[in-house]
């Protein structure tokens, strides 16, 4: 077994790898950007070396600096985690050229699976079912049009070098094909420097089924069953589970055998995932599951496979990289129960899932679940990296038990002031269609209205805020409220600001069951700030606030159309802010005067910072 390991990654996956390496008695070396110097993975490694400034291209993607850190620390092996350099064949070769052990896929396998059309041609030759389509070299628009017409609409045009859901166009009918092709090519050439495309039949009711495989240096390959990752938002996985709902033994055998064949075809060594797309319009069927692509690395969602098989996949990776054979043979592997993972992101569902950054002043994650987290309370969420905060994983005897356990756990998530998708996850996990296992890749888009938490607090939240304020005023609030009941004449209404908006709440102490802490309320994964009403409010429930206009998201000020002292009318545009190519115009909430102007053109602002304050007339 290797005796020391450098982890060329950060956050959650770096901690995950360190955990197993420590248990195996392997010395761990972290590398980190300047922005990550204080993070948990840096503290938890036996040794840590800085490799450059915050942007990934200056640190985590700098092959030379990572190799230099390996030399300096005397590391014997490098684990790339996922993302960053994990599927970079040149880096794998450079690591091995240094005489180090590469805990990743063989460079030849990474290359073979790198381009979609070449990978698919190879799979067809190996006898793996591939989505019906056109993978040819003739890229003339006339030929592509003819092929699309022959496949039958809808079709999907995909850039052969595409990834991350980019460079794909769904085309509904022959007449739209030429325009879609041209636009797909433009995107492919600007994003990937390669404008070649392939055409596939568009699968209706598509489900994303993937199979975990492992190969060793003796040429043995096993599978560790399937995962269902159909719950996606814009082709990004959100909730994953294993096994796949509705998978029967025959279909499982077919898809898992196809995955083993695929891995063998590229002489695979280490952890890999074969992704398939299934037409689930009539349930899962062996003749309607097709190869999509292979990920030549460990996957984010590997914990659900660990839970149902009882195996540690990082341990498997380290043993195989050290030259040991596969820890178990195929007939020693079986499925126990059900497992599900939810990805907790620092993002705000209410603003179209814009990433949310800032300090995690308050962070509580449930102790009833397996938590693979990259952050701790007090850590900073920076705009430089993936916004995933943690993975929450449940394991139970049945799917129903597993979903309920996960949902209950996510309800207890408390994060403030950074926004998270916890409330969104709770709604997805509690949705009747999800509970029934009726998921496909269109689920989130179809149910968006039910899943995105409304900007308005629930009654339970208002009750809790009002009760907490009463308690502050008089510790013996229950006696006070009992008094209310005796005398109906007394006003039981309490004015309170929740989420910066004023409300007048009819207090009913029986309903106040929400946890409150330091002016924040936590309810079903969502966080609400509350306070006694501030002076200057122009009316409860009117939604006009106190005239303080704060940045609704982190971004750049792209227009300022007022100056201090200006008289403004309600609805008049004041400032425009842009983030992630989205523009938002902030307007005057009421007639008044610009009392303060903090925003200046071109400046970067953090979410919640005061931009302008309007004082009402009179």
Q: Which residues lie near ligand ADP (CB under 6 A)?
A: 131, 156, 158, 162-166, 200, 202-203, 206, 208, 232, 235, 277, 292-293, 441
Q: How far is the CB of 410 from ligand ADP (least distance, A)?
A: 23
Question: What is the DSSP code (8-state) at residue 5?
Answer: E
Strands 133-134 and 197-201, sheet pairing: antiparallel
Which residue of the chain is nearest ligand ADP when measured via CB? 203
CA distances from 542 to 538, 589, 592 (A): 8, 10, 16
120 or 395: CB nearest ligand ADP: 120
Q: Is 131 exposed, middle or buried (0-12, 13-18, 19+ CB in 10 A)?
A: buried
207 or 411: CB nearest ligand ADP: 207
200 or 240: CB nearest ligand ADP: 200
Distance CA 427, CA 524 (A): 9
Q: Retrieve residue 492's tokens.
A: 């039981």
Q: How far is the CB of 354 from ligand ADP (least distance, A)?
A: 22
User: What phi-psi label fits residue 221: left (phi over 0), alpha (psi between -120 and 50 degrees) or beta?
Assistant: beta
Torsion of CA 473, 476, 482, 486, to 10 degrees: -70
Instruction: Return the number of other C-beta atoms located less than 10 Å from residue 137's C-beta.
Output: 7
164 or 618: CB nearest ligand ADP: 164
Query: Whose CA is closest to 524, among 427, 411, 431?
Result: 411
CB 196 within 8 A of CB 144: no
Q: Retrieve residue 40's tokens.
A: 């948990």
163 or 499: CB nearest ligand ADP: 163
Q: How far is the CB of 275 from ligand ADP (least distance, A)?
A: 6
Q: Which helix (H) or strand (E) holds 465?
A: helix 459-473
133 or 358: CB nearest ligand ADP: 133
Q: How far is the CB of 138 from ligand ADP (least distance, A)?
A: 20
170 or 473: CB nearest ligand ADP: 170
At residue 514, φ and ψ (nearest 5 deg) are -95, 145
Q: Retrieve residue 357's tokens.
A: 């950054």
277 or 342: CB nearest ligand ADP: 277
State the sign of the Cα–Cα–Cα–Cα dihedral 411, 413, 416, 418.
negative
Distance CA 447, CA 424 (A): 11
Q: How far is the CB of 591 from ligand ADP (least distance, A)?
A: 49
The residues assigned a catalytic role are 297
202 or 416: CB nearest ligand ADP: 202
At residue 33, φ and ψ (nearest 5 deg) are -80, 170
Q: How far is the CB of 257 from ligand ADP (least distance, A)?
A: 21
Distance CA 555, CA 11 (A): 24
CB 510 within 8 A of CB 504: no
Q: How far is the CB of 155 from ligand ADP (least distance, A)?
A: 8
Q: How far is the CB of 356 from ligand ADP (least distance, A)?
A: 24
Query: Whose CA is closest to 543, among 498, 592, 599?
Result: 498
Q: Retrieve residue 337's tokens.
A: 């129960």
CA distances from 111 to 64, 160, 274, 296, 586 (A): 21, 13, 15, 10, 49
Distance CA 563, CA 149 (A): 59
163 or 417: CB nearest ligand ADP: 163
Q: How far is the CB of 179 from ligand ADP (least distance, A)?
A: 20
Instruction: Return the number of other C-beta atoms located less than 10 Å from residue 254's C-beta.
Output: 17
- Decide: helix, strand or coil at residue 103: coil
Instruction: Return the number of other C-beta atoms located less than 10 Å from residue 182's C-beta.
Output: 12
- The DSSP annotation for 7-61 comes to E---HHHHHHHHHHHHHTT-EEEEEEEGGGTTSHHHHHSSEEEEEE-SSGGGTTT
Q: How far is the CB of 105 from ligand ADP (least distance, A)?
A: 16
């Amino acid at each position: 077994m290797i005796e020391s390991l450098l982890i060329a990654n950060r956050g959650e996956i770096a901690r995950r790898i360190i955990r197993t390496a420590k248990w195996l008695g392997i010395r761990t070396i972290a590398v980190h950007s300047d922005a990550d110097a204080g993070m948990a993975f840096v503290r938890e490694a036996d040794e840590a070396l800085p490799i450059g400034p915050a942007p990934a291209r200056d640190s985590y993607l700098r092959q030379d600096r990572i190799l230099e850190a390996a030399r300096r620390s005397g590391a014997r092996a490098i684990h790339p985690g996922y993302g960053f350099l994990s599927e970079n064949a040149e880096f794998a070769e450079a690591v091995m050229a240094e005489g180090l052990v590469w805990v990743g896929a063989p460079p030849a396998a990474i290359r073979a699976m790198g381009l979609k059309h070449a990978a698919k041609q190879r799979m067809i030759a190996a006898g793996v079912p591939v989505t019906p389509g056109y993978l040819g070299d003739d890229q003339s628009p006339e030929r592509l049009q003819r092929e699309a017409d022959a496949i039958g609409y809808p079709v999907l045009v995909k850039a052969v070098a595409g990834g991350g859901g980019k460079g794909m166009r769904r085309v509904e009918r022959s007449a739209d094909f030429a325009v879609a092709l041209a636009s797909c090519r433009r995107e492919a050439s600007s994003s990937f420097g390669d404008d070649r495309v392939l055409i596939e039949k568009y699968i209706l009711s598509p489900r994303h089924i993937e199979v975990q495989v492992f190969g060793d240096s003796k040429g043995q390959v096993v599978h560790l069953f399937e995962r269902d990752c159909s719950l996606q938002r814009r082709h990004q996985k959100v909730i994953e589970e294993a096994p796949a709902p509705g998978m029967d033994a025959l279909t499982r055998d077919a898809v898992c055998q196809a995955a083993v064949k695929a891995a063998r075809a590229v002489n695979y060594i280490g952890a890999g995932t074969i992704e398939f797309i299934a037409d689930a319009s009539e349930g899962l069927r062996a003749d309607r599951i097709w190869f999509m692509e292979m990920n030549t690395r460990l996957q984010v969602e590997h914990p659900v496979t660990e839970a149902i098989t009882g195996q540690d996949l990082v341990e498997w990776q380290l043993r195989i990289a050290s030259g040991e054979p596969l820890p178990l043979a195929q007939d020693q592997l079986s499925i126990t129960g059900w497992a599900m993972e939810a990805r907790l992101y620092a993002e705000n569902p209410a603003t179209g899932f814009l990433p949310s950054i800032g300090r995690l002043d308050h962070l509580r994650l449930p102790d009833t679940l397996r938590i693979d987290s990259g952050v701790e309370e007090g850590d900073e969420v920076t705009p430089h990296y993936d916004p995933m905060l943690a993975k929450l994983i449940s394991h139970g005897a049945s799917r129903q038990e597993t979903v309920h356990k996960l949902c209950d756990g996510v309800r207890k998530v408390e994060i403030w002031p950074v926004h998270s998708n916890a409330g969104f996850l709770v709604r997805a996990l509690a949705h009747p269609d999800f509970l029934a296992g009726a998921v496909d890749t269109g689920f989130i888009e179809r149910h968006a209205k039910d899943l995105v938490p409304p900007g308005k607090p629930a009654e339970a939240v208002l009750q809790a805020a009002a009760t907490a304020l009463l308690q502050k005023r008089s510790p013996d609030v229950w006696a006070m409220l009992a008094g209310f009941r005796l005398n109906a004449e007394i006003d039981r209404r309490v004015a309170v600001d929740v989420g910066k908006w004023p409300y007048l709440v009819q207090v009913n102490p029986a309903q106040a069951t929400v946890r409150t802490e330091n002016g924040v309320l936590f309810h079903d994964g969502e966080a609400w700030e509350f306070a006694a009403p501030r002076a200057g409010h122009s009316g409860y429930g009117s939604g006009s606030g106190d005239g303080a206009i704060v940045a609704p998201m982190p971004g750049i000020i792209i227009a300022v159309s007022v100056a201090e002292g200006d008289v403004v009318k309600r609805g008049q545009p004041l400032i425009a802010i842009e983030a992630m190519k989205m523009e938002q115009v902030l307007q005057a909430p009421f007639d008044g005067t610009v009392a303060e102007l903090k925003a200046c053109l071109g400046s970067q602002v953090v979410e919640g910072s005061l931009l302008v304050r309007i004082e009402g007339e009179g």
